[in-house]
Amino acid sequence: MTLTVLLDLSLLASSTLPRGVRRYVHLLADALVRQKRELELEVVAAVNAPLFRAPRHTTDLRAAIEDWESRPAIGLKLPIGSRGTRALTRAARLAGADVVHSLHPEGSPRSALDCARVVTCHHLDSSVAATEWHGGQSRVDLDRRHFQRAERIIAISRATAQELIARLDIPRHRISVVHNGIDPSVWSPEPRPDDGPRLAALGLRGGPFLLCVGAVDARKNVDGILFGLKRAQELVHNRQLVLVWVGPLTRPERIELDGLSRSRGLSPSVIPVGLVTDEDLAALYRHATGLVFASRREGFGFPVVEAMASGCPVITSNRSSMVEVADSAAVMVNPEDTGAIADAMVLLYGNEAERERLRQAGLIRARQFTLQQMVHGTVEAYAQAAHAVAAERSTSSTRGVE
């Protein structure tokens, strides 16, 4: 029996969608299209979904992605699901959907649908940031409402699943842990002829460099990483050891990074290159001394796996999902211990044998995160959600007869 699934891609029209979530949506949609025949799966997406007219749907997911991403940010403040259930319900009904998959909790309507519902949880940073970092009011109740009507919740790591259970009291039996996968055709350790020109265009013309990938915020531990770099330079007596920061830095974030760099005496050593293409990022991974990904918490951490698959040694944190994802194939540090971060940087800078060991271990570890396993785990969650709805309807029908 073929299962019909409606992917809610409308969240792609949001300019504030985290880059990691956007990457997840693209990878999953593309992999589902390529594997749908062997999985007996029909995947559709809504396009042109106005508030007061019936939304159209299409099986051309790539066209649907382009449709949603091409919309002006002011044209869609929220995903169609979060604006109320009506548009999403009508889209699902017209498509004959057995399952609706909300690819981010913010897009999941809080009202009932006519079919099964699956929601992907990438992290619970909103409630954590409010209570632990900024002393604000907890968002636990708000976060819980995004999941309470879902038959199945996909957590992208065991760490995220544990947070769903511990913070939101989500029953364990409703959660499927499905790790993200990566595309090995993009992330490869083999040098390419255009690597040199790409690095030169980014202002890198030789010499060792460490790499950071992500935003500039408390979760990414930018201050701790800069402290670590300063100490590492002192330990190796080399101010030429630089840190390349890749990420879609807003103007305030760039000002903050520049200010932190100056206050640490690191201005020439921190090179913000902004948002780069995947081809540029792959070249950076291949030629970096190592990736420094010492975040305080992550739902998954795409850069860890991408770097490993590209042959780049990794320094990451000994907490959250990073322990689970990196396993023993990275240098693990306490993100609050700047001395440990510095020691790890020095290790990669000065120990070629250790870099090679980590390179080989990372290549092996990265092979565990395939698009095939992501798709199969996701489709299994669809089947479980559809089965749960069918079982509930059967039970209700039996009660009606009695």
pLDDT tens digit sequence for 174-205:
999 999 999 999 999 999 999 999 999 999 98
The overall average pLDDT reported for the chain is: 86
Check residue 48 and give its pLDDT: 63
Domain 3-181+370-401 and domain 195-366 have a common topology: yes
SS3 content of the chain, % helix, strand, coil (to 5): 50, 15, 35
Say what the pLDDT of residue 34 is.
86
| DSSP classification of residue 2 | P
CATH of 3-181+370-401, one of 3.40.50.150, 3.40.50.2000, 3.40.50.620, 3.60.15.10: 3.40.50.2000
CA dihedral 111, 116, 121, 122 (to 10 degrees): -120
Judge whether residue 67 has pLDDT over 90. no
Read off the pLDDT of each residue in 120-139 and give the average, rounded to a whole number.
60
Q: Which helix (H) or strand (E) holds 5?
A: strand 3-8
Question: What's the pLDDT tens digit per position in 204-219?
Answer: 987 889 999 988 888 8
Residue 76 pLDDT class (50, 70, 90 cuts): very low
Which of 84, 95, 92 shows the shortest CA–CA distance to 116? 92
Q: Is the pLDDT of residue 274 over 70?
A: yes
Q: Where are the domains of the chain?
A: 3-181+370-401, 195-366
For the chain, percent of residues with pLDDT exceeding 90: 56
The confidence score (pLDDT) of residue 206 equals 78
Look at 208 and 39; give whichever has higher pLDDT. Answer: 208
Q: Please give the full DSSP string across 212-238, using - where no structure is assigned.
A: EES-SSGGGTHHHHHHHHHHHHHHHT-
pLDDT, mean of residues 112-137: 68
Q: What is the pTM of this model?
A: 0.90
For residues 62-69, give the mean pLDDT: 88
Q: Give the least confident one: 97-106, 292-301, 368-377.
A: 97-106
E strands, 48-179, in order: 56-58, 99-102, 116-121, 152-155, 175-177
Largest CA distance in the chain: 82
pLDDT band at 173 (very low <50, low <70, confident <90, very high): very high
Could you tell me the CA-to-CA distances from 167 to 71, 125, 132, 137, 297 in Å, in that order? 35, 11, 13, 14, 15
pLDDT over 70 (residue 73): no
- Give me the torsion for CA of 329, 333, 334, 335, rounded to 10°: -100
Domain 195-366 has what CATH class?
A: alpha beta
